Amino acid sequence: MGQSKVKVFIGLSGGVDSAVSAYLLKKQGYDVHAVFMKNWTGTHLNLAGECQWTRERDDAKKVAQKLKIPFEVWDFEKEYRRDVIDYFFKEYARGRTPNPDIRCNQFVKIPLFLKRALESGADFIATGHYAKVGKSQMANRKWQFHLLNGIDKEKDQSYFLCTLTQHQLKHILFPVGGMTKVEVRQLAKKLKLPVAAKPDSVGICFIGEVKVEDFLRTRLQEKPGPIVDTKGRVLGKHIGLAFYTIGQRHGMGLAGGPWYVIGRKWKANTLIVGKLVEQKYLLASKFIAEKVHWVAETAPKLPATFLVRHRYRHPVFKAQVSKISTGLRVKFIKPQRAITPGQSAVFYRKVKNNLEVVGSAVIEKVEKKGFIW
């Protein structure tokens, strides 16, 4: 059945996933319009980002021309800088490790894009995320929308979409969520899309391949101090505790490695590192989380046991989630490595062959004795 009267605005990023998504939508008969979101130019922090975003825009435009669909550029840079980048620096200055991709989807990429698209006559928006949307009918005949994992376990991006609302899920499509990355690449090559062989983007959301340390240096001042091992022996000097995250392996410039960051003494301005055999110091079972979001928009009955992922690409593990006055307390059945304040914990449940995102919260404090994270 054709979808000729159903208008979809696809976010074309300049990558292969959104390009194939646009093709699939057009093939299914939708009235497809392409939008490139200009969220970051790099000029505000004196980073060489001009060629990065223009290259992505030009690639997106080439895809739109190849598919013969309308193309526009929408500027959300002011909002992105305020809601994602400023937050990013504030969190690192506090010694926390935020996830800019989740923050971007929560405040810019999904809500601002959707709002403007609906105002422009769209019925749906679409992105190249590896995720799926399901729905079920409630007793009151209303539809309940569900956020599900993409079938490619290596590329599943449901973690980054954990703050989606019912309104957003009602109006969003993920055309490649039921495909593997290999299948997406093969189709792009078969169609001779201009970005078929383009490597996947890495780095900070919309900023690109900039080292986090270099990016942080544009705003955060260095505050050097000693690097010590678990016995207190001085091994070298760090540039400032805010530049390091728990579990980090690279960027310390120490001989005899590998070394891992396992603690930070803020009053003494001391970075604590350990060897691979000292990974036990990175294990913890409990944490407090705030900024709670439930996808169904009503909280489930707590306490409850969920499958929890405390950082992207980390496997899910069973944990009991309980309500407390400030948010949630999460207790893993099995200790986990490098649970990090500032990161998001995403709660899943198994539904048939899928993992469904139930909700999420931002990790506030890890409850453990010994090294301070």
Q: What is the Cα–Cα distance from 260 to 273, expressed in whole angstroms?
A: 5
- DSSP H stretches of helix in the chain: 16-27, 50-67, 77-80, 86-93, 100-104, 111-119, 166-170, 181-191, 212-217
Q: How many CB atoms lie within 10 A of CB 370?
A: 12
Read off the tokens for 202. 């890495």
- Enzyme catalytic residues: 104, 205
Coil, helix or strand for 63? helix
DSSP state of 106: I
Amino acid making up residue 109: K
Q: Is 183 left (phi over 0), alpha (psi -120 to 50) or beta?
A: alpha
Q: What is the Cα–Cα distance from 15 to 185, expressed in whole angstroms?
A: 11
* Contact (Cβ atoms closer than 8 angstroms) between residue 38 and residue 71: no
Q: Is the dihedral of CA 259, 264, 265, 267 positive or negative?
A: positive
Strand partners, 153: none
**CA end-to-end span of the chain, whole Å?**
55
**Angle of the 50-67 helix axis to the 16-27 helix axis, nearest 10:** 20
The residues, any chain, with a CB within 8 Å of residue 371's CB and separated by 6 or more, are 262, 263, 264, 272, 281
* Contact (Cβ atoms closer than 8 angstroms) between residue 21 and residue 126: yes
Q: What is the Cα–Cα distance from 69 to 59, expressed in whole angstroms?
A: 14
